[in-house]
Amino acid sequence: MAPKKEYKDLRSARWFAPDDLRSFGHRSRAMQMGLDSEDWEGKPVIAIINTWSDLSPCHHHLRDRAEYVKQGVYQAGGLPVEMPVHSFSEQFLKPTSMLYRNMGAMEVEETIRAHPVDGVVLLGGCDKSTPALVMGAVSAGVPFIFLPAGAMLRGNYAGAKLGSGTDVWKYWDERRAGTIGKEQWDGVQGGIARSYGTCMTMGTASTMMSIAEGFGLTLPGASSIPAPDAGHKRMSKACGRRIVDMVWEDLTPDKIITPASTRNATVVAMATGCSTNAIIHLIAMARRAGIDWGLDDLDAVGHEIPVLANIRPTGKEYLMEDFFYAGGLPALMKELGDKLDTSVVTVTGKTLGETIADAQNYNDDVIRPLSNPVYHQGSLAVLRGNLAPDGAVIKPAAMDAKFMVHRGPAIVADTYAEMKKIISDPDYPMTPDSVLILRNAGPQGGPGMPEWGMIPMPQALLKDGHRDMVRLSDARMSGTSYGACVLHVAPEAYVGGPLALVKTGDIIAMDIPSRTLNVEVSDEDLAERRKAWVAPEPRYERGYGAMFSKHIEQADKGCDFDFLTTDYGAPVPEPEI
Ligand code: FES
Ligand code: MG
């Protein structure tokens, strides 16, 4: 692509070039850090936005990788500057990392806008970090590349391949059922996370990194390289080189995130057997680019696109490392053929078609062809009805098929603590048809919509050998989870969605093929119950939580803050210097 910009056009030149008092200040303070005019004159400033922290095991290598990005930036004639942001540690952040996704996105947007930055490399991958980084950078509007952290190595215990999350839930159920003891449980603990990098199942992290590549926001293949692979260092350097050219080419995010690339990202999500969380983040990312993308668009793509990636938890056997050896995401995109619009431009400056032209599938059991999918269609399904007028989500690809059409009596818990009591009681009255309902766990109620939606199987059913049942909530679940879990019920109970009106014993009817979800209570009775319903107090009265409670949107809109969406007020102007 031919250069479109000269040095005088760059944002950073506004800080460094003028012969005036303010620019004197910028230059003298750059010199304070050991820089010289040769470091900035005529050169784009590239921010390396880094989500490394000592409490972010998935991003443990990103401080090192930032050094490789810097090398690439220098090679291409730019000035790299590393800028730390919130780390989004999925495991350690409480009450849930989702509470902080938008805060992180705001931080990224404002960090870019407020500084002399011409281009950005985003370093992240653990669940919420990908959408937060992308949402913020899209709103800031400068050219950027996303460098995925990459997945960790396969887990290993006693010769068994362990998958992040997925095998934790599995072994925990076995421990509670008494089929494994403390020693085996400890062995799993030591073997399930053997290296830095993100969860190596097709959980939220791998899904979101793949979606970023599906949007065209990464260099080809970047989302599938395992974190400890030397190729990840080379990819880091390549991102540093490429972003400098992107600045000269003025390849801004609005040229990459388009309706066509949003559809591509959704196709990729479905073909990977994506995490249910992907739905929320995809909608939020697209809306930041001004693209109206919602649950019905996702469901329509889901109807058409089969799951091709044979990765747990949807697939039975393989993990992200196997996916990489099989050719990774470029090979999967090639298998998708004309399901993707290959005319879109990616961060490479070339079309998607050009970038995947030479991709090869080295193992067609890991990356299945369209003629032999892992799951025929509809990895995710959107349900609606009197229980979820604005939609709910389920992952039929990762549940027992006998629940596809189901009727059963509700067992309702208003809090997680209440639900814990129910599932820990071996004598709690329930049947395999019962529907466990957890409410007040949505964006407002959670708060922050925690991953409580895969309610552990109750002792009362576990002891009889049951390993799946219908569970329903306004919460999310981890992307590594599985089971007949209806999630993201909107509107949530805490703001008075119909879920708030359900009583224990009500019959819940779910029909996934016809996409319906209802409580079999008449409109009149529901109206009566609504009269008696009392709205709970907001969760927070001060601090970030107070802002969150005031501005968070419901799950079907992507849980962004209302004031961050593209059409909220006039665009933010460039800062005065
Ligand atoms: Fe970081 Fe799973 S905990 S990706
Ligand atoms: Mg997760």
Task: Give, for all 577 residues of the chain, the pLDDT tens digit.
Answer: 778 999 999 999 999 999 999 999 999 999 999 999 999 999 999 999 999 999 999 999 999 999 999 999 999 999 999 999 999 999 999 999 999 999 999 999 999 999 999 999 999 999 999 999 999 999 999 999 999 999 999 999 999 999 998 888 888 888 988 899 999 999 999 999 999 999 999 999 999 999 999 999 999 999 999 999 999 999 999 999 999 999 999 999 999 999 999 999 999 999 999 989 999 999 999 999 999 999 999 999 999 999 999 999 888 889 999 999 999 999 999 999 999 999 999 999 999 999 999 999 999 999 999 999 999 877 889 999 999 999 999 999 889 999 999 999 999 999 999 999 999 999 999 999 999 999 999 999 999 999 999 999 999 999 889 999 999 999 999 887 889 999 999 999 999 999 999 999 999 999 999 999 999 999 999 999 999 999 998 899 999 999 999 999 999 999 999 999 988 999 999 999 9
Q: What are phi and psi of 546, to 5 degrees?
A: -65, -40
* pLDDT of 6: 95
| Distance from the alpha carbon of residue 92 to the mean position of ligand 1, in angstroms | 10
* pLDDT of 564: 96
Nearest atom of ligand 1 to the alpha carbon of 56:
1
Instruction: Set out the domains of the chain in order of their start, with CATH numbers.
Output: 43-153+198-300 (3.40.50), 157-187 (no CATH), 381-532 (3.50.30.80)
- Nearest-CA neighbor of 442 among 480, 511, 392? 392
| Distance from the alpha carbon of residue 360 to the mean position of ligand 1, in angstroms | 28
| Closest-approaching ligand to the CA atom of 59 | 1
Q: What are phi and psi of 409, to 5 degrees?
A: -80, 140
Tell me the H-state helices in 411-472.
Answer: 416-424, 459-462
Vertex 361, ends 357 and 363: CA angle to 5°? 175
When computed from its CA atoms, the radius of gyration of the chain, rounded to whole angstroms, is: 24
Nearest atom of ligand 1 to the alpha carbon of 58:
1
DSSP 8-state assignment for residue 376: S
Nearest atom of ligand 1 to the alpha carbon of 127:
4
Q: What are phi and psi of 333, to 5 degrees?
A: -65, -35
| Distance from the alpha carbon of residue 248 to the mean position of ligand 1, in angstroms | 35
Distance CA 568, CA 570 (A): 7
| Distance from the alpha carbon of residue 90 to the mean position of ligand 2, in angstroms | 6
* pLDDT of 398: 86
- Nearest-CA neighbor of 394 among 513, 310, 504, 305? 513
* pLDDT of 44: 98
Smallest CA separation from ligand 1 atom 2, residue: 199
Contact by Cβ (8 Å): 335, 370: yes
Q: b/e per residue, 362-394, with b = 16+ CB within 10 A? A: eebebbbeeeebbbeebbbbbbbbbbbebbbbb
* pLDDT of 3: 84
| Distance from the alpha carbon of residue 553 to the mean position of ligand 2, in angstroms | 21
Rounded to the nearest angstrom, the gap between the alpha carbon of residue 571 and the centroid of all alpha carbons in its chain is 26
Quick one: which H or E segment has residue 457?
none
| Distance from the alpha carbon of residue 90 to the mean position of ligand 1, in angstroms | 5
DSSP 8-state assignment for residue 474: S
Helices 277-288 and 295-304, packing angle to 10 deg: 120
| Distance from the alpha carbon of residue 201 to the mean position of ligand 1, in angstroms | 10
Quick one: which H or E segment has residue 281?
helix 277-288
**Pocket-forming residues, ligand 1, beta carbon under 6 Å:** 58, 90-91, 126-127, 164, 198-199, 203, 205
Tell me the H-state helices in 452-564.
Answer: 459-462, 523-532, 543-551
Q: What are phi and psi of 517, to 5 degrees?
A: -145, 115
From 90, 94, 101, 275, mutation site for ligand 1 pocket: most ligand atoms within 8 A of C-beta: 90
From 164, 210, 311, 481, mutation site for ligand 1 pocket: most ligand atoms within 8 A of C-beta: 164
